[in-house]
Every structure is written in structure tokens, then in C-alpha cells.
Structure 1
Amino acid sequence: MTTVQAKADQRSLPQSIRDQLRDEILRGTLPPGTQLRQENLAERFGASRIPVREALRQLEAEGLVSYQLNRGAVVIAMSTSEICELLDIRAALESYAAKLAVPNMVVADIELMKRILASYDVATTLPEWAECNRQFHLALCAPSNNERLKKMIEEYCLSTTNRYPHLRMSLNTQKEDVQRDHYQIVDACKRRAVNEVVSLLEQHILETKREVLAAARLGQ
């Protein structure tokens, strides 16, 4: 292995650890409240604590992990009200991003969203649904050409709220309902119908909020 390859592998190790832990959090293998001890994770992944610490820092930025006194890194547990507050923020940020993005879209943007939705159609597991959903919403926002806005949506909203609706969706709703919304949004994007895209997107996110509230009310 060359020095360059070794350095590349070293850089990719935190991302590899992060991706595995994120998958387990989304899947529910690591439920809210689980302690993520650096020494245990280092032993598990055959790594030093440095890449583990960086992976946990990235998960913290995504809102999946928090640091607690005397406990270290812990998988976040969010209340219904906290989830709903984030969904309100997400609706506002994504709607604004879409308003900026749609006029800038080209054929390649539309095709990318279609490819993501095609992957979503054949996905069979919760982590796959969550990842396809994340990719779709980021692809929709990308033509806004506002990296700071996109980063806020990705790190502050999408990663945190993404896991809860998809866990609920597997029990109470059909994947087809979510996909229908997505395809309607893409169709409106193709027609450059900015106001329609914004309206559809806002309804799509706030419908998730209504279902989260209903699930909590009905004890589901």
C-alpha cells in the first residue's frame, strides 16, 4: 500500500464507522439511550479512538448522538414535541430552499431525483428508505446553490427527523403514499411550478408531523 493510499484509508475510516453506526441507529439496533463507549467501539472496529471520536462527532452534528455528563456519547432520544419542532423548522428551511432551487434546475437535476426515487421503489429495509429519503430531499435542495442552507437542512433536520417517520411508516402507513408525494414534487419541478413545489413539499413534511402527533396520541 502506498503512503497516499494509507492516508486515504485513514481519512475514510471515520466515515466508515459513522455509516455503520448511523445504519444501526436508523435500524433500531442501537435504540435511544444506548451508550457509545469509545473504547468498546475502537475494539469493535479494530481502530484507535481517534477515528471513533471523529465518527461520533459527525453523528452528533447530524443530531443522532449527544454527549451527556458521566455517560459520554449516547444515542439521542427525542420527545414527540421535539420531533415536531424540528419538522416545523425543516418545513420552513426546505420550502425556502426549494423556492431558490426550482428556477435553477436542469435536466440532470430531475434525472438525479428520478434515479433516487427508483432506488426508493425497490428498497425493502428501513435504513434504505431513510437513506433514499435523505438523498431525495438533499437533491431537491441542491440547486438552491446555498451550501450553508443545505448543510443546515442535512445536519440539523434531516438526519434527526428521518429515523422517526420511517420507523412509524413501517407500521402505520404505506411507502407508496410517501413516494406519491415525491413523484408529484418531481413533476412540479419539471414544470418549474415553484409555488406548487413549495406547497407540495410543505404539505409532505407537515403530514409527517400530523402522523407523529396522531401516533403519540393513540399510543402507537
Structure 2
Amino acid sequence: MSDATNRFPLDSPSGTSALPAAISVAERASTPRMIANALRTAIVDGTLAPGAPLRQDAIARHFSVSAIPVREALRQLESEGWAKVEMHKGATVAPLSAEEAREIYEIRAALESLAIGLAIPAHTPASLKHAQALCKAASAETDPSLYVTRNEAFHLSLYEPAARPQLFEMIGTLHRRGERYLRLKFGLPSYKGESDREHVALLKAVRQGDVVTAQTLVTQHLLDTGELLYRFLCEHAGTAGASSQTRKPRVKRQRDTSGS
């Protein structure tokens, strides 16, 4: 078991950490948010592995704050699905879930199909040029942490002209919930290449103002990604539980019939 699952990484003898140092005075007004952002980043990049303890005392010492903003930050992470808090046991990083990964992408498919349909008539040459640049940046990215950021930026650039702030916020939240799952694609390089090609086709449909094709492409792109991550997590679950085992025959049939 790695250090990340045995103890809070800041306790490492090396003293190194992916988290920022103590928060400055100017940042203290938003201390819980800053702590939550730092912990979320550490979860996404793997510094804090699934099941790793999120000890309030260690976090408070690192950021030189009291326990109050740390508790608020952990409550925020729990509400977003990043942390699991149990009575008398404290907080830990939420486990990866095949079912959650698939559901996130199913919901994204519905919302982003709606968003892209609303956005296409409002796109301008400038917004399309911006989306093109973000598409290229995501395709060229080889760092998992940067890729998830650039992937999100590309997708959101397609929807922003819709001018639907609540819809945009919901989509952004789901992107963040799916960040650590999306990183798994880097263990499947051929699928990342396929995803990049789908981005190009999607952008082409948006440029052409083809709402129906764009909605079909974004829906299939997201559902396929969700199913890919679901299969990957199920296949790597081992003997984690009967639920995973009962789904494996279904997964195998899907794989046998894919690629046609």
C-alpha cells in the first residue's frame, strides 16, 4: 500500500508535497475554498489516493490555520463527492466507483447535448477560433493533470455562447466530479487518441452549424467515455465486491461486439 493511503502525504519524511504552502493573510477570507481546491488537486493528480485519510490536524498544521476552515473545506469536498466522512472515523478520499463514473458521463451527455444545441447559433468566428485553439491544446497534452483542465476548457468553450449560466455551472461541476476518472484514459493511450479525433469531428459540426450532428457526436462521445471508464474500473476491481462481479459478463459481451 502506498504512503498516500497510509497517511496524509504532508507527513512524509521528505517534506515534499503537491499542496501549496501555508495560506497568506490576503487569502484567509476564502481559506476553506483554498484548502478544498488544494486537496481536490491532490486527489486528481494521485497524491491523495482513494481511501487516503484526510486528517484535520495534519491539514491545519500544513496551512497554518485552525480546524474550523479545514472542517468547512472537508464538508465542501464531501458534498462534491471527493471525500467520505464517517462518524468517529474522520474523512478519507472517496473511492473510485465504476457506477459513479458511468453515471457522471450519462448526465453530462444529456446536459451537454442541450448546451451545444443552444450554443451553436450564437457562435462567432472569434469563439470558434478559441475553441479550435483549445482543441489542439488538449490533443497535444501529455500530462494527465493538464489534460483534464484543457479537455474541460475545450468542452466548455463549445457551450459558453449559449448564455445559460445555471446549465454551464452544472456542466462545470460534473466535469470536476469526473476529473480523476478522466485521468485513467492516460493508461489507455489508444482511447485518448480516439477521443481527440472525436473532438475534431465535434468541432467541425459546430463550425458548420449542424446542430443534429453535433448533439449526436457529443452524446456518443460522452456515453462511450463513461462506458470505457466503467469497464476499466470493473476489470481492475478484482474481488472488491459481488456487484462488480455480476456486471462483468455484461461488460464482456459489450467488448466482444464493439469495434464493428
Q: TM-score, normalised by structure 1?
A: 0.83
**2:10 corresponds to which residue?**
none
- The 5 Å alignment of 1:1-220 reads 8-11=26-29, 13-155=31-173, 157-167=174-184, 169-174=185-190, 175-216=192-233, 218-219=235-236
- Secondary structure of the residue aligned to 1:137 is helix
Give the whole-Å Cα distance in 1 for the aligned partners of 2:66 and 2:204.
Answer: 48
2:137–2:150 CA contact under 8 A, matched in 1: yes
- Secondary structure of the residue aligned to 2:205 is helix
Q: Which runs of 5+ in 2 are unaligned?
A: 1-23, 238-260
1:26–1:126 CA contact under 8 A, matched in 2: no
1:35–1:71 CA contact under 8 A, matched in 2: no
The alpha carbon displacement at 1:147 in A equals 1.5
Instruction: Give me the CA root mean square deviation.
Output: 2.5
The alpha carbon displacement at 1:81 in A equals 1.9
After superposition, the Cα gap between the structure-2 partners of 1:218 and 1:106, relative to the gap in structure 1 and judged at 3 Å, is same
1:62–1:154 CA contact under 8 A, matched in 2: no
The alpha carbon displacement at 1:183 in A equals 1.9
**1:3 corresponds to which residue?**
none
1:13–1:51 CA contact under 8 A, matched in 2: yes
After superposition, the Cα gap between the structure-2 partners of 1:34 and 1:218, relative to the gap in structure 1 and judged at 3 Å, is closer
Q: Which runs of 5+ in 1 are unaligned?
A: 1-5
Greater RCO (CA < 8 Å, at least 6 residues apart) = 1
Return the index of the structure with the highest Cα Rg.
2
Give the whole-Å Cα distance in 2 for the aligned partners of 1:7 and 1:141.
Answer: 37
The alpha carbon displacement at 1:39 in A equals 2.3
Q: TM-score, normalised by structure 2?
A: 0.71
After superposition, the Cα gap between the structure-2 partners of 1:64 and 1:216, relative to the gap in structure 1 and judged at 3 Å, is closer
- Secondary structure of the residue aligned to 1:117 is helix
Letter in 2 for 1:200: L
